Amino acid sequence: MAYDLEEQEQLDSIKAWWGKYGSLVTWVLIIALAGYAAWTGWNTYQSRQSAQASMLYEELQKSMETRDNAKVQRMASDIQDKFGGTAYAEMSALVAAKAAFEANDTDNAKKQLQWVIDHGRGAEYKAIAAVRLSGVLLDAKAYDEALKVLSADYPVQFAGTIADRKGDILLAQGKRDDARAAYQLALEKTEEKDPGRQLIQLKLDAIGGAPAKA
C-alpha cells in the first residue's frame, strides 16, 4: 500500500536523522552493551574467585585443626597469591599467623600479620592484625616497633583495644605515667558491658590508676 504524503515526510525525516546520527547511536549501543558484558563477566569472575578461595580456606582450617603449621603457611600463601582480592586472603593470613604463633614460628606469625596490614582491604582486619602483631612484638621486646604498628588510623571500635595494648607496651618500657594514661583511655573507649573492662581496670589499679567511672 502506498504511503500518503504525510507518512512519506515522516519517513524522510527519520532517514535524514538516522543518516546524521545513526553511526553515533550505534557506537553508544555497542559501548553500553560492552560495558554490561564486562560488568557481568567481572561479577561472574569474582563469584568464581570467592568460591575457589572458600574451598581452599576450608582446607586451611582443617590443617589448622591438625596443627600442621607448614601446610597452613603454604595454603595461606596460595590464597593470598591467587585470591588476594577476596576476604579469604585476610582471613587465611590471620589463621596462619595464629598457627605460626602456636608453633613458636614467630617469623611467619609476623609475616602473615604484616601481610594483612599491608595488603588487606578491610579496615577491621587490619586493626585485628595490628593488635596481634604488636603483641608479638611486645613479647620480643621490640617496643618501639610495636607502638609504631599501633600508630596508624584504625576503626573507632578498636580504640579501646589499641589503647589497652599501648598501655601494656608503655608499661613494659617502664613508662608508668604514659601507661596509666593509655589504660584510662582504654577504659573510656571500652563499653561498660565489655568483659575486657575488668582486666583493664585491674592493670590500671596495679599501677595506682584512678578507679573506673560508673
For residues 22 and 109, what is the distance between their CA atoms, to the nearest angstrom? 62
Match 589503647 to its residue by C-alpha cell: 163
> Is 1 contained in some domain?
no
- Supply the pLDDT for residue 83: 84
Mean pLDDT confidence for 1-14:
58
* DSSP-derived secondary structure letter, 209: P
Mean pLDDT confidence for 129-133:
95
Q: Could you tell me the CATH number of the domain that includes residue 126?
A: 1.25.40.10
Q: pLDDT tens digits for 177-210? A: 999 999 999 999 998 888 888 999 999 998 886 6
Q: Which three cell numbers stand for residue 52?
A: 575457589
> Is 66 contained in some domain?
yes
> Is 116 contained in some domain?
yes
Listed residue (75, 122, 129, 70) closest to 100, CA to CA: 70
pLDDT: is 15 or 127 the higher one? 127
Domain of residue 100, residue span: 8-206
108 φ, ψ (degrees, to nearest 5):
-70, -30
Q: pLDDT tens digits for 23-36? A: 665 555 555 555 54
> Is 2 contained in some domain?
no
Q: Which three cell numbers stand for residue 120?
A: 588487606
Q: Which three cell numbers stand for residue 209?
A: 590508676
**pTM of the prediction?**
0.72
Domain count for the chain, please give it: 1
> Is 24 contained in some domain?
yes
Helix spans in the chain (H):
5-65, 69-82, 87-102, 106-119, 123-139, 143-149, 159-172, 176-189, 196-206
> Is 213 contained in some domain?
no
> Is 182 contained in some domain?
yes
> Is 3 contained in some domain?
no
- Supply the pLDDT for residue 214: 42
Q: Which three cell numbers stand for residue 162?
A: 589499641
Asked whether 93 and 58 are in contact (CB, 8 A), the reply is no
- Supply the pLDDT for residue 39: 46
Q: Answer whether residue 14 shows pLDDT above 90.
A: no
- Supply the pLDDT for residue 45: 47
CA distances from 31 to 22, 36, 39 (A): 14, 9, 12
